[in-house]
Chain A
Amino acid sequence: MKIHEAEARELLARAGLPVPDADVATTAAGARAIAERLFAAGVPQVVIKAQVLVGGRGKAGGVKLAASAAEAETTAAAILALTIKDLPVRRVLVAPAATIVREIYLAALIDRTTRGVLVMASAAGGMEIEEVAAKDPAAIVREVAHPHGGLLPFQARRLGFGIGLRGELLKQFCLIATGLVKIARESDADLVEVNPLAVVPAPETPGGERLICLDAKVTLDDSALDRHPDLAAWRDADSEDPIDREAREQGISYIRLDGSIGCMVNGAGLAMTTLDLVTRAGGTPANFLDIGGGARADKVAAAMRIILADAGVKAILVNIFGGITRGDEVAKGLIEARAQQDRVVPMVVRIVGTNAAEAAVLLREGGFETATSLDEAAEKAVALAAAGGGK
């Protein structure tokens, strides 16, 4: 689950890491009040940032500077009226505009290859890390945190020295790097990324410079949200389609695509394969849908509702290889779903494995079009969709 910059900043602040003195507003007047407070504290300029869970908000006009409270109000009003990549902007973060000396990249993330929490740092902050990796892979330094102890002090120092830090900045960097790993572990985050980690002027400190986490991105592990009800409450309901929400609440893994053949499959690998074979047969899948293991009739009916909510669906392909899942349960669910649905879409059903014989009887009595092999099922579904005006 992705969380907004404002909440990511909150996580960093709770861990005692240096973040801007920022606040969130849902109205232009609210943004003005925050700006007034910041200007009164001596801030010369503020930045107003749209809180949306997509990249590229700067280019879309979602990040703007303001030099007065009045300007902050009109700018916030304009940003709150935006829709960025289909997501309406409901909130803005108002923060002091920083004078940046230079930018660093720092992230802690779960890494498949090292099977641990990997910390990556680069002196080339501000840019996307993908870009740095492509242009100058040697510019990224890495450490794998200790599996039980987190990022150890010597590892943090190696990272800091590795990107050319010394003295006071190195000390601050070590605290921040260690802190990001601590946040990742304690909040069950897959990713805690600070970009940029900015070097800013600080006349009052030795060396005259300090580090501040200007922007942060955090992704939480969906499998661990149950034990973090406070963090789960940060889910942005606006950025979630109602159909996606129903799928999530039913324990169905659903990704909408833009084709015409709705797919219902058990198991992620088989679901992906089903999309591949539909595509190979000349069709276009309307969705990825995995009903999971051991699904009962009611879950099958819910999956059917989710598929049919997509008006682009012209045919449905059901592909079940029973193991934990029982074929007759799926067949019952399909019959139940058909009795409830108000839109009739041609369907081809393939059920093999556990209780496939019982399922076959139910499907035959129900008059369903069936298929034996996966390839045959895909071809039939493509033909049905084409007959219905899809492809």
Chain B
Amino acid sequence: MSILVDQHTRLVVQGLTGREGGFHAGQMAAYGTKIVAGVTPGRGGEFGLDGTVPVFDTVREAVEKTNANTSCIFVPAAGAADAIAEAAASGIKTIFCITEGIPVHDMVGALAVVQQHGARLIGPNCPGATTPGVGGLGAKIGIIPASIHLPGDVGVVSRSGTLTYEAVQSMTDAGIGQSTCLGIGGDPIIGTTFRDALELFAADPATRALVLIGEIGGSAEEEAAAWAGEHLKHLPRVAFIAGRAAPEGRRMGHAGAIVSGASGRAVDKIAALEAAGFKVAGSPTELPRLLIEAGYTKR
């Protein structure tokens, strides 16, 4: 078991014919992900991924012809929000957007379309998700390097890309495997929050412990901590927050922090997580040891 991505995933890659889309589709397929379609407006009728995957002009057509149920978006920033809205309006229920640098007002509009259609968006500006499988195979969506994973039962959720790799690699090196690793993205407006991700992991019987990797800014970590303190008492849980040493006021305007009712500082996030029963690491390399201290036992 896992969350969001598994052997039932039928993936459409929006932007399959582009450089990034094509390269990472190859990596995803090599890891065992079932890629059923590509979408690039104007390139319908072609085949991508060494001639094995049909390309369509619209997501609707891709869904009708291939029963795609999940999308991964590599469309350039100017068109990515529209690609998200198109996927949602075409019946795709799980949408990953890898694209970085989408204008934030575009995201406000796209997210409303996602919600209107009852779909789930992960990202944008996220590395995606991997559900590791036995023998170096599993299912992955996005750009997380397959080599860092080990199948197991610890759920990982993170706002960051390379920091996630660092944390997952340290777990794998310590022999601690992952149920699913999920990057939710670092933009101010994202579809799936830490709290949403924790709810998904809580409903997954194969996840027996949790790692949360947050960073300064906003109050999503505090909100997730409050929920976890109530609902995840049965799971060992550890966290790392990046940005303890960051200077204040360089990343976010004060007005945004006011609205959220918190200042976005690392110390406040760490305090909120500790109050909710998380063990908080001082370095990503400490996460495996803290998992054991929190009561996690390797199977």
Using CB atoms and an 8 Å cutoff, list the residues of chain A in contact with chain B: 107, 109-118, 120, 128-130, 133, 142, 147-148, 184-185, 188, 190-191, 193, 219, 221, 223-224, 226-227, 255, 257, 265-270, 272-273, 275-280, 285, 288, 293, 321-324, 352-354, 373-375
Contact call B255/A375, Cβ cutoff below 8 A? no
Among A112, A115, A277, find the residue whose CB has the most chain B CB atoms closer than 10 A.
A112
Confirm or deny: B52 has a beta carbon within 8 angstroms of a beta carbon on chain A.
no
Q: Please name all residues of chain B whose beta carbon is closer than 8 Å to the beta carbon of A109 when the two chains form the complex.
A: 253, 255-256, 259
Instruction: Report the minimum CB–CB distance from A120 to chain B (whole Å).
Output: 7
Confirm or deny: B218 has a beta carbon within 8 angstroms of a beta carbon on chain A.
yes
Contact call B143/A190, Cβ cutoff below 8 A? no
Contact call A223/B283, Cβ cutoff below 8 A? no
Q: List 20 A-B contacts (CB under 8 A).
A: A118-B259, A129-B255, A130-B254, A130-B258, A184-B105, A193-B255, A221-B105, A226-B78, A227-B78, A265-B162, A269-B213, A270-B160, A270-B162, A272-B163, A273-B283, A276-B282, A321-B165, A353-B148, A374-B283, A375-B283
Query: Which candidate, B40-48, B229-237, B241-249, is the interface stretch facing chain A?
Result: B241-249
Contact call B253/A219, Cβ cutoff below 8 A? yes
Confirm or deny: B267 has a beta carbon within 8 angstroms of a beta carbon on chain A.
no
Identity of the chain B residue whose Cβ is nearest the Cβ of A148 in the assembled complex: B109
Q: A268-B160, A269-B158, A272-B242 are in contact. Are A352 and B169 (CB under 8 A)?
A: yes
In the complex, A280→B245 CA distance in Å? 9
Q: A272-B242, A324-B143 are in contact. Are A110 and B165 (CB under 8 A)?
A: no
Contact call B104/A190, Cβ cutoff below 8 A? yes
In the complex, A221→B106 CA distance in Å? 11
Confirm or deny: B299 has a beta carbon within 8 angstroms of a beta carbon on chain A.
no
Contact call A273/B242, Cβ cutoff below 8 A? yes
Q: Contact string, B3-38, partner A, CB cutoff 8 A, digits 1/0?
A: 000000000000000000000000000000000000
Confirm or deny: B293 has a beta carbon within 8 angstroms of a beta carbon on chain A.
no
Partner of B245, one of A110, A193, A275, A352: A275
Confirm or deny: B101 has a beta carbon within 8 angstroms of a beta carbon on chain A.
yes
Q: Please name all residues of chain B whose beta carbon is closer than 8 Å to the beta carbon of A278 when the two chains form the complex.
A: 245
Q: Please name all residues of chain A whose beta carbon is closer than 8 Å to the beta carbon of B246 when the two chains form the complex.
A: 272, 275, 288
Instruction: Report the minimum CB–CB distance from A24 to chain B (whole Å).
Output: 24
Q: A188-B103, A280-B282, A323-B145 are in contact. Are A273 and B166 (CB under 8 A)?
A: yes
Given contacts A255-B250, A269-B242, A374-B283, 12 further A-B contacts (CB under 8 A): A109-B259, A129-B254, A185-B105, A223-B102, A223-B103, A227-B78, A269-B158, A273-B242, A323-B145, A373-B285, A374-B166, A375-B285
In the complex, A120→B255 CA distance in Å? 10
Confirm or deny: B141 has a beta carbon within 8 angstroms of a beta carbon on chain A.
no
Q: Contact string, B132-172, partner A, CB cutoff 8 A, digits 1/0?
A: 00000000000111011000000000111111111001000
Q: Please name all residues of chain A whose beta carbon is closer than 8 Å to the beta carbon of B219 when the two chains form the complex.
A: 112-113
Q: A272-B215, A276-B244, A280-B282 are in contact. Are A267 and B255 (CB under 8 A)?
A: no
Contact call A285/B165, Cβ cutoff below 8 A? no
Confirm or deny: B54 has a beta carbon within 8 angstroms of a beta carbon on chain A.
no
Identity of the chain A residue whose Cβ is nearest the Cβ of B264 in the assembled complex: A112
In the complex, A352→B219 CA distance in Å? 31
Pair count A-B, CB < 8 A: 166
Instruction: Report the minimum CB–CB distance from A188 to chain B (whole Å).
Output: 5
Contact call B189/A115, Cβ cutoff below 8 A? yes
Q: Please name all residues of chain A whose beta carbon is closer than 8 Å to the beta carbon of B111 when the two chains form the complex.
A: 115, 147
Contact call A147/B108, Cβ cutoff below 8 A? yes
Contact call B255/A323, Cβ cutoff below 8 A? no
Q: Please name all residues of chain A whose beta carbon is closer than 8 Å to the beta carbon of B161 when the two chains form the complex.
A: 267, 269-270, 293, 323
| Chain B interface extent, by class | 35 or more
Q: Please name all residues of chain A whose beta carbon is closer than 8 Å to the beta carbon of B103 when the two chains form the complex.
A: 188, 221, 223-224, 227
Confirm or deny: B118 has a beta carbon within 8 angstroms of a beta carbon on chain A.
no
Identity of the chain A residue whose Cβ is nearest the Cβ of B254 in the assembled complex: A130
In the complex, A114→B193 CA distance in Å? 12
Q: Please name all residues of chain A whose beta carbon is closer than 8 Å to the beta carbon of B216 when the two chains form the complex.
A: 272
Instruction: Report the minimum CB–CB distance from A219 to chain B (whole Å).
Output: 7
In the complex, A204→B216 CA distance in Å? 51
Confirm or deny: B188 has a beta carbon within 8 angstroms of a beta carbon on chain A.
yes
Q: Please name all residues of chain A whose beta carbon is closer than 8 Å to the beta carbon of B123 when the two chains form the complex.
A: none
Contact call B188/A112, Cβ cutoff below 8 A? yes
Q: Contact string, B70-111, partner A, CB cutoff 8 A, digits 1/0?
A: 000000011000000000000000000000111111111101
Partner of B243, one of A142, A227, A276: A276
Identity of the chain A residue whose Cβ is nearest the Cβ of B247 in the assembled complex: A257
In the complex, A322→B161 CA distance in Å? 11
Q: Please name all residues of chain A whose beta carbon is closer than 8 Å to the beta carbon of B105 when the two chains form the complex.
A: 110, 117, 184-185, 188, 221, 224
Contact call B166/A133, Cβ cutoff below 8 A? no
List 6 A-B pairs, minimum CB-CB distance, nearest first: A269-B160, A267-B162, A269-B163, A147-B112, A224-B103, A279-B245
Confirm or deny: B284 has a beta carbon within 8 angstroms of a beta carbon on chain A.
yes
Q: Please name all residues of chain B whose beta carbon is closer than 8 Å to the beta carbon of A270 when the two chains form the complex.
A: 160-163, 166, 242
Identity of the chain A residue whose Cβ is nearest the Cβ of B173 in the assembled complex: A373
Confirm or deny: B292 has a beta carbon within 8 angstroms of a beta carbon on chain A.
no
In the complex, A265→B188 CA distance in Å? 22
Contact call B186/A268, Cβ cutoff below 8 A? yes
Partner of B77, one of A117, A223, A269, A280: A223
Identity of the chain A residue whose Cβ is nearest the Cβ of B164 in the assembled complex: A269
Identity of the chain B residue whose Cβ is nearest the Cβ of A356 in the assembled complex: B147
In the complex, A112→B246 CA distance in Å? 20
Q: Please name all residues of chain B whose beta carbon is closer than 8 Å to the beta carbon of A285 when the two chains form the complex.
A: 245
Contact call B282/A267, Cβ cutoff below 8 A? no
Identity of the chain A residue whose Cβ is nearest the Cβ of B165 in the assembled complex: A321
Q: Please name all residues of chain B whose beta carbon is closer than 8 Å to the beta carbon of A269 when the two chains form the complex.
A: 158-164, 186, 213, 215, 242
Q: Please name all residues of chain B whose beta carbon is closer than 8 Å to the beta carbon of A224 when the two chains form the complex.
A: 103-106
Confirm or deny: B277 has a beta carbon within 8 angstroms of a beta carbon on chain A.
no
Instruction: Report the minimum CB–CB distance from B67 to chain A (whole Å).
Output: 30
Contact call B104/A223, Cβ cutoff below 8 A? yes
Q: Please name all residues of chain A whose beta carbon is closer than 8 Å to the beta carbon of B283 when the two chains form the complex.
A: 273, 276-277, 280, 374-375
Among B109, B143, B215, B243, find the residue whose CB has the most chain A CB atoms closer than 10 A.
B243
Among A107, A113, A193, A322, find the residue whose CB has the most chain B CB atoms closer than 10 A.
A113
Q: Please name all residues of chain A whose beta carbon is closer than 8 Å to the beta carbon of B66 when the two chains form the complex.
A: none
Partner of B108, one of A115, A288, A321, A373: A115
Confirm or deny: B220 has a beta carbon within 8 angstroms of a beta carbon on chain A.
yes
Q: Please name all residues of chain A whose beta carbon is closer than 8 Å to the beta carbon of B242 when the two chains form the complex.
A: 269-270, 272-273, 276
